[in-house]
Amino acid sequence: MGPLIPNGVIPAEWDSIIAILIGIVFGFVLESSGFSSSRKLAGVFYGYDFAVLKVFFTAALVSLIGMYYMDYLGYVDINQMYVHPTYLWGAIIGGVIMGLGFVTGGFCPGTSLCAVAIGKIDAIVYVVGIMIGVFIFSELFVLFQPLYEGSFLGNITLEDSLGVNPYWFVFIFTIIAIVSFVISDMIRKRNKKIFY
Amino acid sequence: MKNNQKNRHVYWNPYFGGFLLGILILFTFYITGRGLGASGAMKSSVVTIVDTVAPTHAENNTYYSRFINEEKSPMNTWLVFEALGVLIGAFLSGGLTGRIGWRTQHSPKITPKRRLAFALGGGILFGLGAQIARGCTSGAALSGMAVLSTGGFITMLAIFGSAFAFAYFFRKNWI
């Protein structure tokens, strides 16, 4: 039963090799979906290209639905999965800063790596920027520490915090995503086409 | 329509790409019990650089010292290997479709210099934000959402909400 490495089905020595293989597929899919182009990525914020919205929500839904199916069928135990911890204000303020960085820089870290791989100079500069950002954070860690470690709510899921049934949540989330896909297509048709 | 008024590159259908990405996230969770990530590799690189240049400083800093281990290098982590894979995978995809080349992509309305300045600034902000939120779009938002993590959903909403809110001020850079 999954997850395979933590449960010893696959020996832990394979960890790094599997990491590279997973990374290769990740990079291939992102690049082939056009995520190595900052102007395509930024399109979602100006309504001329909704690839980010479509790829992102489709991926989230497929993994979410798949996860609950595999849990239901007994292939994985969803409670053994690593749940990204919730530090309320860290998540909000960090997210707002990242959003500003996204719309100014045109990449997020994963997509910038893809763009670096195909030789985009703006992406190389962006990655240098990320490293400077990490450096600033680490050097001024004392300042950020209360935000970084404060308002810790645990490794909670929406099931805990909203009290919703996860199956219903996934269903409603799917409907929201489909509606947003339809609306995004309508918006894109109304907007001037941008070529890049 | 003029000939040059066409996008040079043909990418995958976004739903197809999203479907494969979703399957990959599922597979990653099935094998390793955790999700994907991207900014982690850059953090490891910074820790390694600082630890090499100024080892005592790195050990005295509360943040770097968390990732420094006597036995193994900070580069010997899952996320660094995964990031190397991302570079290989993207290079393969770009190579197969002829997208490889040194260039700076920017809107015709701005100069390459301005684009690079904004890329640097955006990178600094994203790097800072990703540390505060303990993950970026991949690690916190996408992988968090796959297991219904509350923090993952909040980070996702914050990233896209703020990017939409600030988009108006930077429109010249893109459209």
pLDDT digits (tens, 9 = 90+) for B76-121: 899 999 999 999 999 999 999 888 999 998 888 899 999 999 999 9
Q: Which H or E element spans position A154?
A: strand A152-154
**Is the predicted pLDDT of residue B4 greater than 60, yes or no?**
no
pLDDT in tens, B10-54: 899 999 999 999 999 999 999 998 889 889 999 999 999 999 999
Domain ranges of chain A: 1-83+165-196, 84-155
Which of B17, B150, B155 faces A29 most closely, judged by CB atoms?
Answer: B17
Residue of B38, B119, B147 with shortest CB distance to A129: B119
pLDDT computed for residue A91 by the predictor: 95
**CB A137, CB B127: distance < 8 Å:** yes
Question: What's residue B2's pLDDT?
Answer: 39
Interface contacts A/B by beta carbons within 8 Å: 536
Tens of pLDDT, residues A144-166: 999 999 899 999 999 888 888 99
Residue B1 has pLDDT above 80, yes or no: no
Q: Do B92 and A24 touch (CB under 8 A)?
A: yes
pTM of the entire structure? 0.93
Q: Is the peptide bond before B14 cis (omega within 30 degrees of 0)?
A: no
Q: How far apart are the first and last CA of chain B?
A: 19
Q: What is the pLDDT of residue B91?
A: 96
Give the integer Cα–Cα distance in Å for B113 and A121. Answer: 11
- How far is A27 from chain B, CA to nearest CA, in Å? 4
Give B3's pLDDT tier (boundaries 50, 70, 90): very low
- In A, residues 110-139, which contact B (CB 8 Å cutoff)? 110, 112-123, 125-139
A152 burial via Cβ count (<10 Å: 0-12, 13-18, 19+):
middle
The pLDDT, as a whole number, for residue A77 is 87
Q: What's the pLDDT score for residue B8? A: 63
* CA distances from residue B101 to A39, A116, A117 in whole angstroms, order as listed: 16, 10, 10
Which secondary-structure segment (H or E) carries A152? Answer: strand A152-154
Kindly tell me the sign of the dihedral angle through the C-alpha atoms of A100, A114, A27, A62: positive
Q: For chain A, how big is the Rg over CA atoms in Å?
A: 19
Q: What integer pLDDT is reported at residue B70 of this predicted model?
A: 79
Of A22, A82, A104, the CB nearest to B24: A22
Q: State how far the Cα of B156 lies from the Cα of A98, in Å rounded to an integer.
A: 10
Beta-strand runs (E) in A72-135: 86-87
| Averaged pLDDT for residues B46-75 | 89
Which pLDDT score, from 0 to 100, does residue B72 have? Answer: 82
- State how far residue B95 is from chain A, nearest Cα, in angstroms: 8
Residue that has been written with the tokens 């896909």 in this structure:
A181
Chain A interface includes B148 (CB < 8 A): yes
Can you list the residues of chain A whose pLDDT is less than 50?
Answer: none
Q: What is the ipTM of this complex?
A: 0.93
- pLDDT score at A78: 87
Which one, of A150, A37, A6, lies nearest residue B101 by Cα? A37
